[in-house]
Amino acid sequence: MSYCDVKTVETDVIIVGSGSAGCMAALTARRQDCRTALVDKGGIYRSGCGAAGEDHFVAVLEEGEEWDTPEVFQKWYNTLTHGLCNPKVVENGFLKHIKWLTGYLEDLGVKMRLDGKEYIRTSSYSAPGRYWINFDGVDLPTKIAAESEKIGVDFFPKTAVTDLIIEDGRVAGVAALEFRTKTIYLFKCKAAVLCTGNVTRMYDNLSGIPYNTWNSPYNNGLGQRVAFMAGAKLANMEFIGFNVTIKNFGCPGLAGFTGMGAHLVNAAGERIAFKYHPLGEKAPRWAICKAVHTETQEGRGPIYIDARPLSKDDLEFLLTNLLPVDKKSINDFFEQKGLDLRKDLLEVEMTGGEIPPMSGHVGGILVDENMASSVPGLYAAGGNALALTTLSGAMCAGITAAQAAAEYAGDFGNVERFDQNQIEKIKERIYRPLEDKDGSISYIEFEDKIRQIMSRYVRVGRTEAGLRTAMGLLGRLEEYIPKIKVENGHELMRFLESQELLTCSQMIARGASVRQESRFGLSHYRTDFPETKDEWRKFVIQRRLDDGDVEISFQPAYQL
């Protein structure tokens, strides 16, 4: 093959994805004295959902208030997730590190106290207390990346991971494509930590432009796909997420508004959130989305944020200190639209659907309290794992995963030689579209088809027949993969992403057809099984077998 420039790199622990979880994981693994490689298809210093910096930091600080304890947090999180997140993962992958992490970020110079004196803490999404610190996280990603670089983490930017290399039933390496030069990297490693975040671009959104999402559009499910292909267990993949975003401004902001006491109103000016949940605007996010969706569907839209009930000081704080932290252009946007939130309403809309990177989401790679997957040597943290997937949750889970991966790596040497059959297959899969000049369809057509199928049959209002149709159509799409053509390295990366989207879409549809109930509002709404049922308070687990079949199993929810 003419394109084959292959480089081999030896390391101990490889971290895939350099967002919130990945950078923290890399820093931690290197501090355990491991050779550590950090690979991202974007830049290392800023990438992923938190690239622009963020403004809310979920923390339990034990400062004296009744709700500010690990026990109360655990209870709330167990209720929020219906017991579908392992409390030991929350304990070991979040609560164990959060106080230390908050202090560490302050020491690094991240502005955790906006007025320099006290933490400003607010409450959102049904929490019993003010777990969200309003902070200025603009510098957070760059500061953690700089620390990693300083202590010798090896950076591989613009390098898209494509496959895991498994030898003797455990992770022995990772394959990646540096798409600007079309070089394939083969990393020999002893353990890998997957930190590739949530999954976007599987559903149409209102703008009609797949990349116009509030999430990072480049998180497409690599972690979930490679874990699945390696035979790891993934759980609850049927649940998708929606978010309420400011119309024509592809970024969330709702937690900022509702956390401080703004209302959600319909076109008639009626406050809507209490109709759908007793906690009103402080309800879990899925209930807010259900409110916005139902009011709109039933002809009472558009829906607006009404910030007028806020006190003058709170509104001023929101507009000048909080929203512009990670939404630099928000005040320009208000100005261009002629909006003054002191007197005007702000129209919102619901996103198209994604595997979300947010608190309360319960789908992903199934991990134990060390963030270890069911494949030896494979760990996961952040949005691709079934754990607490907020910014602080991802960072804490990154610490736990890297500590465990480093310890595991100590027991092994690198493989001397990869199995060449496996490597040839990987090279063939990556390079085939560049070699084959007879390809007849573009990755864009292929990806559009996934979105059409998912939006039509696997969004809100799922039915047995629709899901069966979706599974059939998604399966048939596999036949078109050999017909996709690409012109350059960039398109080659997109081609590989489209397969990540396909695998994740199939997992969502498969899980949705198994779970014969509805749960978490629109996240999994079956019109043929509209009730939430106690007997379905359990994990739906998928595992790919060696012959390609998928085994489905169940695990009861956790009761606290």
Ligand X SMILES: Cc1cc2nc3c(=O)[nH]c(=O)nc-3n(C[C@H](O)[C@H](O)[C@H](O)COP(=O)(O)OP(=O)(O)OC[C@H]3O[C@@H](n4cnc5c(N)ncnc54)[C@H](O)[C@@H]3O)c2cc1C
| Smallest separation (angstroms) from ligand X to the CB of 558 | 22
Rule CB under 6 A: is residue 19 a binding residue for ligand X?
yes
- Residue 219 is a binding residue for ligand X (CB under 6 A): yes
Among 9, 12, 54, 334, the residue binding ligand X under the rule CB under 6 A is: 54
**How far, CA to CA in Å, does 26 sit from each of 19, 44, 391?**
10, 11, 16
DSSP state of 533: -
Burial of 66 (C-beta count, 10 Å sphere; 0-12/13-18/19+): exposed
The answer to whether 383 and 8 have CB atoms below 8 angstroms apart is no
Binding to ligand X by residue 222, rule CB under 6 A? Answer: yes
C-beta separation of 151 from 388 below 8 A = no
Please report where in the chains the tokens 């991966």 appear, as a residue: 405
Stretch that binds ligand X, among 38-46, 410-418, 467-475, 548-556 (CB under 6 A): 38-46
Shortest distance (Å) from residue 496 CB to ligand X: 7
Considering only 9, 15, 21, 386, the residue that binds ligand X (CB under 6 A) is 21
Out of 11, 12, 36, 56, point to the residue binding ligand X (CB under 6 A).
Answer: 56
Tell me the window of 12-20, 165-173, 185-193, 435-443 that interacts with ligand X (CB under 6 A).
Answer: 12-20
Judged by CB under 6 A, the stretch of 16-24, 69-77, 316-324, 423-431 that binds ligand X is 16-24
Would you count residue 39 as binding ligand X (CB under 6 A)? yes
Pairing assessment for the beta strands 183-188 and 244-246 based on DSSP bridges: unpaired
Q: Rank residues 357 and 466 by Cβ distance to ligand X and give the closer one.
A: 357
**Out of 389, 403, 498, 513, which residue is the one contacting ligand X (CB under 6 A)?**
389
393, 359 Cβ separation under 8 angstroms: yes
Name the DSSP letter for residue 549: -
- Which residue's CB is nearer to ligand X, number 470 or number 484? 484
Q: Which stretch binds ligand X (CB under 6 A): 42-50, 300-308, 520-528, 540-548?
A: 42-50
Supply the minimum distance, in Å, between the C-beta of residue 227 and ligand X.
12
Regarding 204 and contact with ligand X (CB under 6 A), the answer is no
Shortest Cβ 421–ligand X spacing (Å):
23
User: Least Å distance between CB 58 and ligand X?
Assistant: 5
Torsion of CA 193, 376, 493, 36, to 10 degrees: 40
Question: Stretches 218-226, 312-320, 445-453, 528-536: which one binds ligand X (CB under 6 A)?
Answer: 218-226
Tokens 């890399």 found at: 26
* Residues in contact with 420: Cβ distance below 8 Å, sequence separation at least 6, in sequence order: none
* Secondary-structure percent of the chain, ordered helix, strand, coil, rounded to 5: 40, 20, 40
Entry field: residues in the chain: 560
Among 29, 50, 133, 405, binds ligand X (CB under 6 A): 50
CB of 251 to ligand X, least distance (A): 5
Contact pattern from residue 462 through residue 491 relative to ligand X, giving x for each residue in contact according to CB under 6 A and a dash for the rest: ------------------------------
* Position 196 contacts ligand X (CB under 6 A): yes
Q: What is the spatial distance between Cα 334 and Cα 287, in angstroms, rounded to a whole number?
A: 27
214 interacts with ligand X by CB under 6 A: yes
Considering only the stretches 36-44, 66-74, 268-276, 288-296, report the one whose residues sit in contact with ligand X under the rule CB under 6 A: 36-44
Distance CA 222, CA 390 (A): 19
According to CB under 6 A, which one of 30, 41, 201, 526 is a site residue for ligand X?
A: 41
Contact 197, 19 (CB under 8 A): yes
Under rule CB under 6 A, how many of the chain's residues touch ligand X? 42
Least distance CB 122 / ligand X (angstroms): 11
- Between CA 153 and CA 73 the distance in angstroms is 34
Q: What are phi and psi of 410, to 5 degrees?
A: -60, -20
Residue 138 or 406 having the CB closest to ligand X? 138
Q: Is 505 in the site for ligand X (CB under 6 A)?
A: no
Query: Residue 44 has which token pair?
Result: 């290392």
Pick one of 160, 175, 192, 291: the residue that binds ligand X (CB under 6 A).
160
Q: Is residue 22 a contact point for ligand X (CB under 6 A)?
A: yes
Complex with ligand X: residue 330 or 541, whichever CB lies closer: 330
What is the torsional sign of CA 270, 275, 279, 281?
negative
Identity of the residue, 18 or 81, whose beta carbon is nearer to ligand X in the bound complex: 18
State both tokens at 457.
């049959």
Asked if 391 touches ligand X (CB under 6 A), the answer is yes
Residue type for position 499: Q
Site string for ligand X, 226-255 (x = CB under 6 A): -------------------------xx---
SS3 263: strand
CB of residue 533 vs ligand X: minimum separation in angstroms? Answer: 29
Taking the least distance from each CB to ligand X, the nearer of 245 and 513 is 245
CB under 6 A: which stretch of 50-58, 276-284, 426-434, 504-512 binds ligand X?
50-58
Question: Using CB under 6 A, which of the segments 41-49, 291-299, 368-376, 427-435 binds ligand X?
Answer: 41-49
What is the DSSP pairing of strand 170-178 with strand 154-156?
A: unpaired
Task: Report the alpha-carbon distance of residue 204 to residue 125 in Å, rounded.
Answer: 26
Q: CB-based contacts of 555: which residues, under 8 Å, 6+ apart?
A: 235, 538, 539, 541
Instruction: Count Cα neighbours of 85 within 13 Å in the Cβ-side half-sphere.
Output: 29
CA distance 28 to 22: 10
- Residues between 276 and 335 with contacts to ligand X, criterion CB under 6 A: 326
Map 447-514 to HEC letters: HHHHHHHHHHHCCCCECHHHHHHHHHHHHHHHHHHHHEECCCHHHHHHHHHHHHHHHHHHHHHHHHHH
Given 216, 224, 236, 513, the residue binding ligand X (CB under 6 A): 216
* CB 37 within 8 Å of CB 68: no
Please report, as ranges, the residues that interact with ligand X according to CB under 6 A. 16-22, 39-42, 47-50, 54-56, 58, 160-161, 195-197, 214-216, 218-219, 222, 251-252, 326, 357-358, 382-383, 389-392, 394
